[in-house]
Structure 1
Amino acid sequence: MKSKIICIIGLCLFVISYWIFTKGNEFAHSQKPIDFAHWLNLIGAVLLLNFNKVFPKNKIGKIASVLTFIGVVAFIGLNTIDFISWSFGNDNNARNIFLNQLASTPAIAFPFVYVGPSLLFLGLTIHAINFIKSNLIGYILTVFGAIFMGLGYFLWNNLIYTALGVSIFSLGLILILSKINTNENVAQQDI
């Protein structure tokens, strides 16, 4: 399967997972027989590594690839934490003890909850810089979506805004993908 198609599948799974997250924690914790939302998020994040193959390998691309890789690793850790949280089922007291322990352990909380996952969005947004001239609309949507997603999650604490931001972010990346020819790497600009 072509890397561009894998990237689009990853973005779609990612977007679907974020819209499922808007249903709230009670819904997330009651999913049976598995935690579908976090599985979609995990698979989507891992598939997004393919952007490192598709996008240019210039200086910007190398920095973006490292950040994207670290961000995917952080998403794997974050989803693992969420799977453990889901495993508590209706035992909210035990779940809260677990989550409080994580929050009080900076060596886990910062790389896997607070900072690390943001590096995936940062890495893909930096990748998009390569297309500021050739696909301005895709670039603007990617940057705006990443910022809106971050504001929705960190500042406004609103999962609908977060999901909307991820959707806009993904649309921007899909527009960029649609205009590049990975076989010839036509979009390999050196900015």
Structure 2
Amino acid sequence: MPSLSDSVDFAHWFNLIGACFLLSFNDAFPKTKTNKVASVLTTLGVIAHIGLCTIDFIMSSYGNNEIAKEQLSQHIGNSPLIFYPFVAVGPSLLFLGLALHALAFMKTETLKSLMVIVGSVGVGFSFFALKNGILMVLSCAVFVLGLGLLLYKNEAETMLNK
């Protein structure tokens, strides 16, 4: 009988839940023209992450059947209506949108903004170009820390102004 850890893809569940929580960043930052564009990109990126997680859930359901996994990968790669929005381009929109949100704070919170921007570029570069999981995790950590610090500052200012 398989254990719970064999049947539940915890990594992708956490990724899915985290991506959905990132929608709240659209309401946390000021409403400028740039941030409106960033909100659209962030929302599209979250939708793409949901699709990507769904694909990964299906992939993990094949267990050790590498032939079936390879066939599914080929099918997705040959289907532009699935591949581009949910694998190749879509998930990157989440990082792009959140980096645009951070760009609004470049003058006042330079280090935190740079953490988000450099972290988002690092995630993409380490995943697509280098295919280096450790560098991707480190880039995600820098990205999340910068975003969290920006959000904390923004929320603290909001609470003080009330």
TM-score (norm 1): 0.78
Of 39, 49, 65, the residue aligned with 2:39 is: 65
2:80 corresponds to 1:106: yes
Correspondent of 2:52 among 75, 78, 98? 78
Residues 185 and 65 from structure 1, CA distance in 2 versus in 1: closer, same or farther, beyond 3 angstroms? farther
Kindly indicate whether the alpha-carbon contact (under 8 Å) linking 1:74 and 1:111 is maintained by their aligned counterparts in 2. Answer: yes
* TM-align CA RMSD: 1.7
Whether the 8 Å contact between 1:56 and 1:185 is mirrored in structure 2 is no
Q: Percent identity?
A: 45
What is the aligned partner in structure 2 of residue 12 from structure 1?
A: none
Give structure 2 stretches of 5+ with no counterpart.
none
**Per residue, is there more helix in 1 or in 2?**
2
**1:115 match:** 89
Selected match of 1:165 from 120, 139, 143: 139
Q: Distance in 1 between matches of 2:32 and 2:142?
A: 26
Aligned counterpart, 2:102: 128
Q: Give the Cα–Cα distance (whole angstroms) in 1 for the partners of residues 115 and 28 of structure 2.
A: 19
1:1-191 to structure 2, matched below 5 A, reads: 31-181=5-155, 184=158
Q: Which amino acid aligns with 1:181?
A: E
Q: 2: distance between equivalents of 1:75 and 1:99?
A: 17
Partners of 2:159 and 2:128 in 1: CA distance:
36
Q: 1:49-83, CA deviations, whole angstroms, 9 ceiling, x for partnerless residues?
A: 00001011110110000000000000000000000
Q: Is the 8 A contact 1:65 1:123 kept in 2?
A: yes
Relative to the length of structure 2, the TM-score reads 0.92
Structure 1 residues without counterparts, runs of 5 or longer: 1-29, 187-191
| CA deviation after TM superposition for structure 1 residue 181, in Å | 3.1
